[in-house]
Amino acid sequence: MAHANYVFTSESVSEGHPDKVCDRISDEIVDLVYREARKAGVDPWSVRVACETLATTNRVVIAGEVRLPPSLMKQDTKSDKMVVNAGRIRSAARRAIRDIGYEQDGFHWKTAKIDVLLHSQSADIAQGVDKAHEVRDQDGVNEIAEGAGDQGIMFGFACRETPELMPAPIYYAHKILETLSTARKAGEGDVAKLGPDAKSQVSIRYENGVPVEATSIVLSTQHVDESWDSKKVREVVEPYIREAMGDLPIADDCVWYINPTGKFVIGGPDGDAGLTGRKIIVDTYGGAAPHGGGAFSGKDTTKVDRSAAYMARYLAKNVVAAKLADRCTIQLAYAIGVAQPVAVYVDLDGTGADVTESEIEKAIRATVDLSPTGIRRHLDLNKPIYGKTAAYGHFGRKPGRDGSFSWEKTDLVAKLKAALKG
């Protein structure tokens, strides 16, 4: 039987956390590639990006494999070969760092040295991804589906704990940092003296599986005024934390840890090195659900680490939105170069409403094309929409007019119900 009364904790990190700086740079490069492909009239289905970023004191290193539109390439005068236009990549990285807000001596968007070590995608990988598979769509029309960019397992999850169908601890941990970031960038009073680097952690008590109150709140945030102590930081941030917690009560005996180690002036990559893909639990469900083996940021959507994780969340959210279950976990598994998943797994955690996991698995396969091609088309993923995913979670966000967070829509409810009836 499920554990009914318990305390569960999740953490989040701000856009200025060293690892998130790297995620943001990597995703801005993905956006740059999609944007330039559209401008140049290059088929966005043909571009490839697998971009990793490392950041430390006044240094950024960008490495990986790419297939770029011509506007992001240039002729090397020594070899006479076409190579990556490193200047365009550096400019994208500097814009990202500036938007986050780093203008400190040890890490400044203007002065940081940026090395670009991107090169062409491996031909061995490309042949597997590009290999054509003839398939028949739901209307009986033959079409070609690309193979998955790698093997892997991806998970999606949804539950009724918040209106966004996300677990409460990670939802509120994100909300605290996002609220503070918005106020900081707006220049609101003393909160404008906070720095970009921050971490939050929220513990929530559950009764009968329902979140009822926050029992501890942890926040460590960078600040530019060296005279501030923990007491002063709490005085500044507590109103914003309470605003972020919304309707969820904060327990009378809630334990608050605000900058518990004291002064936090040196932050970001100057305080600690950052790497792309080190915050995958922050990116997803805060530990309340499984995570696959791969990170999201810096990858184009042929990489099922990203696109299939988005599809799994979309499917799980629509199952819960359709009131087929109160909780839903979905796993999709792929093999490199193979279009369709080798397995689809559904777990309703004992909350199914007169429907079995096997029935939902069949309904999913009957309703959605789960090949990388089908996923990219259904969720309209070949767009420059990924920079904003790099902080405050890839899930539980509102779909944007620009096509961002399309995987958060609940427009599959009717089709799932119809497939189950059929």
Q: What is the pLDDT of residues 272-286, one digit of tens each?
A: 999 999 999 999 999
**DSSP letter for each residue of 34-54:** HHHHHHHT--GGG-EEEEEEE
* Catalytically annotated residue among 273, 333, 335, 366: 273
Q: Check if 272 is active-site.
A: yes
Rounded to the nearest 10 degrees, the angle between the axes of helix 230-245 and helix 168-186 is 120
Which helix or strand (DSSP H or E) is residue 296 part of? none
Q: Check if 65 is active-site.
A: yes
The answer on 416 and 345 residing in a single domain is yes
The CATH number linked to 223 is: 3.30.300.10
Q: Check if 409 is active-site.
A: no
* Catalytically annotated residue among 24, 35, 48, 279: 279
Q: Check if 347 is active-site.
A: no
CB 304 within 8 A of CB 52: no
The answer on 280 and 255 residing in a single domain is no
Tally of domains within the chain? 2
d(CA 232, CA 316): 43
* Catalytically annotated residue among 52, 270, 300, 408: 52
The answer on 372 and 337 residing in a single domain is yes
The answer on 209 and 186 residing in a single domain is yes
* Catalytically annotated residue among 17, 376, 383, 388: 17
- Other beta carbons within 10 Å of 79: 8
* 384-421: pLDDT as tens digits: 999 999 999 999 999 999 999 999 999 999 999 999 98
Query: Would 22 be classed as within a structural domain?
Result: no
Q: Check if 199 is active-site.
A: yes
* pLDDT recorded at residue 135: 47
Domain range enclosing 335: 152-161+276-286+301-421
The answer on 387 and 319 residing in a single domain is yes
Expressed in angstroms, the distance from the first to the final Cα of the chain is 32
Q: Check if 19 is active-site.
A: yes
CB 369 within 8 A of CB 141: no
The answer on 189 and 156 residing in a single domain is no
* pLDDT recorded at residue 291: 94
* pLDDT recorded at residue 77: 75
Query: Would 371 be classed as within a structural domain?
Result: yes
Q: Does pLDDT of 78 surpass 80?
A: no
The answer on 263 and 307 residing in a single domain is no
* pLDDT recorded at residue 133: 46
**What integer is the mean pLDDT of 18-38?**
96
* pLDDT recorded at residue 144: 58
* Catalytically annotated residue among 48, 175, 223, 303: 303
Query: Would 118 be classed as within a structural domain?
Result: no
The answer on 385 and 338 residing in a single domain is yes
The answer on 211 and 192 residing in a single domain is yes
Q: Does pLDDT of 90 surpass 60?
A: yes
